[in-house]
Amino acid sequence: MIFCSQLTRNFAPSAGSVLGISQVSFQANRGEFVVLHGASGSGKSTLLLILGGMLQPDSGTLSLDGFNPYALTRSDASEFRARTVGFVFQLFHLIPYLDVRLNVLAGLPAGSPDATSRAEELIQQLGLLDRQKDYPATLSAGERQRVALARALLKSPKVILADEPTGNLDPANAAIVLGHLDAYRKRGGTVLLATHGSDADRYADRILRLDAGVLVSSVSCSPTPTSPR
């Protein structure tokens, strides 16, 4: 599903403390839950953005679902990203002027079959039924992240790239989010989750560790069976 080799991205000194990545190679298969560990500034977000087709690497090769998104035209790359990748961010990135329901539906092309019913189903599964007419400013951090997760899941992407999705959540909400990512993985999706904590480790098939932009370890493990709440 994801194959990358020797991915490198350098930032200009003016980019401040943001580090790039250097010579990162790994592979993630369909239905695999990969946790990416590393301290703040170690290059986790940079790697996820490169994998999601949002940040072109300086060198190295990438194959996502058989395609290199950087070899596509801009419009084809956008379409590919819409179809293949779901993002979940630490800062949620909800659209402030859309209510919960429309945030979940955001980015979905008009006329997508069954989108509304699937959105309602996800809203219900994620415990947001009574908040679906509310706006992001009125939601708690946990609710916002669940909306962002629903938005990512609605497209049924092949890969979910989650950047510190539990970084701003209490343990209960973190467990809900991780449980749903685990359920998605069990349905055949691939999850790549970047975190500097250890909450996600029990769901991981593999744990990668980045240090100053370099992939220093890759450890396979057996996930602890769970079910989403």
Partner 1 sequence: MISSFQLILREMRHSWLNTCLSLVALIATVALLVGVHLLTAAAEREARRVSRDLGFNLRIVPLNTDPDRFFLEGYSDQTLPEEAVRQLASAAGTFLTFNHLTPALERRIRIQERDCLLTGLGHAVTGPGDKKQPMGFHIPLGQAHVGFLLARHFNLKNGSSLRVLNRDLVVEKVLLEAGTDEDLRLYTSLADAQAILELPGRISEIKAIDCLCLTADQDPLTQIRAALKKVLPEARVLQMRTLADARAKQRQSSENVTAFAVPMTLLAAALWVGTLSILNVRQRRSEIGLWRALGSDSGFIATLFLGKAALLGLIGGTVGYFVGTTVALQFGPHLFPVTAASLQANFQLFPKALLLTSAFAALAAFLPAMIAVAQDPAGTLRAD
Q: How far is CA 77 from the centre of its chain?
A: 17
Task: Determine contact, residues 58/33, Cβ cutoff 8 Å.
Answer: no
Task: Determine contact, residues 166/197, Cβ cutoff 8 Å.
Answer: yes
Q: Which is nearer to partner 1, 119 or 128 (CB)?
A: 119
Sign of CA dihedral 59, 62, 68, 73: negative
- Residue 164 contacts partner 1 per CB under 8 A: yes
Q: Could you count the other beta carbons within 10 Å of the beta carbon of residue 220?
A: 9
Eight-class DSSP state of 17: T
- Residue 74 contacts partner 1 per CB under 8 A: yes
- Residue 107 contacts partner 1 per CB under 8 A: yes
Task: Determine contact, residues 160/192, Cβ cutoff 8 Å.
Answer: yes
Query: Of 77-85, 172-180, 185-193, 214-222, which segment contacts partner 1 by CB under 8 A?
Result: 77-85
- Residue 156 contacts partner 1 per CB under 8 A: no
Q: Could you count the other beta carbons within 10 Å of the beta carbon of residue 197?
A: 12
CA distance 102 to 95: 9
Q: Which is nearer to partner 1, 29 or 76 (CB)?
A: 76
- Residue 222 contacts partner 1 per CB under 8 A: no
- Residue 110 contacts partner 1 per CB under 8 A: yes
- Residue 42 contacts partner 1 per CB under 8 A: yes
- Residue 40 contacts partner 1 per CB under 8 A: yes
Q: Residue 228 Cβ, how far from partner 1 at the closest point, in Å?
A: 23
Site size for partner 1 (CB under 8 A):
44
Query: Of 74-82, 125-133, 199-207, 220-228, which segment contacts partner 1 by CB under 8 A?
Result: 74-82
- Residue 90 contacts partner 1 per CB under 8 A: yes
CA distance 89 to 166: 9
Eight-class DSSP state of 224: P
Which are the contacts of 19, defined by CB distance < 8 A and separation ≥ 6?
11, 41, 42, 43, 46, 212, 213
- Residue 12 contacts partner 1 per CB under 8 A: no
Query: Of 126-134, 163-171, 182-190, 218-226, which segment contacts partner 1 by CB under 8 A?
Result: 163-171
What residues make contact with partner 1 under the rule CB under 8 A? 18, 40-42, 44-46, 49, 52, 54-55, 74-75, 78-83, 85, 87, 89-91, 93, 95-98, 102, 105-108, 110, 112, 115-116, 119, 151, 163-164, 167, 194
